[in-house]
A and B are shown apart, each in its own frame.
Chain A
Amino acid sequence: MKRVLKEGDQRGVSINLISTEKLDELGSEKIRFILDQVKEGRVLVLEKGLSPSEELDLIRITMSEIDHDSFIGVETPGFTGNVVRLGLLQRLLGRTPPPRMMVVGPAHLLKTIKKDGRTIQAMILTRDDRDRYEDEIDITSEEEPQGPPGETEEE
């Protein structure tokens, strides 16, 4: 008889892809939903990532819920909109870059290996052997980086 694989009876990690529509529906419950899922050991791929203030809320609430035995925090590799370089006119008009794709997972299972403005490399560690990296997520941004802004920093 063919065995049906169910979440929880296997060695792997559940990866849930959450659409923009679902995230928008959640509204103010978004952070609670994400944390509940992550605390149950799931890795979430958010089609639309979190805003900077939502990311800070996620960190703050995560810190208040760390119990040092079953939950040590979150790993959140993602393309944050603010890294996208806006042109001078866009910035003068006060345009904020929209949140972009983000992965959120439990820190004991998900590890960011490399991240720059266009590529994120993360690995999912198996429950049985965290020293061996068995699964890998590689997200590459399709967006070309825009030119440098009109204003540059100075020393």
Chain B
Amino acid sequence: MGFFNALMKGLKGLFRKKQMSIGIYGPPNAGKTTLANRISRDWTGKPLGKASEIPHETRKARERKEIIIKAAGSKVNFNIVDTPGIATKIDFHDFVEDHGMDKKEARTWAKEATEGVIEAIKWLDKVDGVLLVMDAAQDPFNQVNVTLIGNLEARKLPTVIIANKIDLEESSPATIRDAFPQHATIPISALSGYGMDNLYKAMIKYFG
């Protein structure tokens, strides 16, 4: 490492916050909690929350503090916040018809999900950076992704896009990269752990 690089790294370290709060955002079922669990398990040995195939499984934001990530010769102390999935519509009938809930349970689930979306939006004021999780097997131009990208850019929040679920045959991380070329896109499988080393390097680079 040259003298200039060492100097810059030292200066950066002086002004860096002690802990960077990173929000994990995205639409429901993109794999946010699976990613949060993967990160938390990798560095603390403990998961953060329950992941499932039912949309809006995460209906309250969950935070894990003091996750120290070491990569590319550096280490940074992160608070990781797993936020509820953001949606423009929530229909309790979907939980009845697609996931076998009874009507009362589905109504409660849907009500909590709407509150979760509001909470996730509020968290945008508190985080220092965002991991925006997209399902690489789905169309990236959904309104939630586009709205989130617009808001993250307006707030000048450092953002890394996660092209998740690349273990699926139909996944296409290149489609996400082409859709949002102004942001770093890291292809991973939060489920299998593939690509996590690249993600940790990117977190150090863009958030550290």
Contact = CB atoms under 8 A, between A and B. Distances in A.
Interface in B127-147: 139, 141-143, 146-147
B90 A72 contact: yes
A81 B182 CA distance: 14
A155 B182 CA distance: 13
A70 B181 CA distance: 39
Contacts of B177: 153
Contact of A53 (B143, B154, B202): B154
Interface stretch (A10-18, A22-30, A111-119, A134-142): A111-119
Contacts of A37: none
> How extensive is the interface on chain A, given as a class?
35 or more
B143 A77 contact: yes
A118 to B, nearest CB: 10
A60 to B, nearest CB: 5
A53 B151 contact: yes
A151 B182 contact: yes
A78 B143 contact: yes
Given A85-B181, A96-B154, A153-B181, A66 B88 contact: no
Interface stretch (B3-11, B30-38, B106-114): B106-114
Interface stretch (B60-68, B69-77, B183-191): B183-191
A59 interface: yes
A3 to B, nearest CB: 35
Contacts of A73: 87-91
A154 B150 CA distance: 20
B51 interface: no
Contacts of A114: 139
B110 A68 contact: yes
Which has the most chain A C-beta neighbours within 10 Å: B88, B92, B139, B154? B88
Contacts of A63: 90, 114-115, 117-118
B198 interface: yes
A68 B90 CA distance: 8
A22 to B, nearest CB: 22
B91 A107 contact: yes
B184 A154 contact: yes
Contacts of A76: 88, 143
Nearest to B121: A60
Nearest to A83: B146
B83 to A, nearest CB: 13
Given A51-B150, A68-B110, A116-B139, 18 more contacts: A52-B153, A53-B154, A55-B150, A62-B89, A64-B118, A66-B89, A68-B92, A72-B90, A72-B91, A80-B147, A83-B141, A91-B182, A116-B141, A117-B141, A153-B181, A153-B184, A155-B184, A155-B198
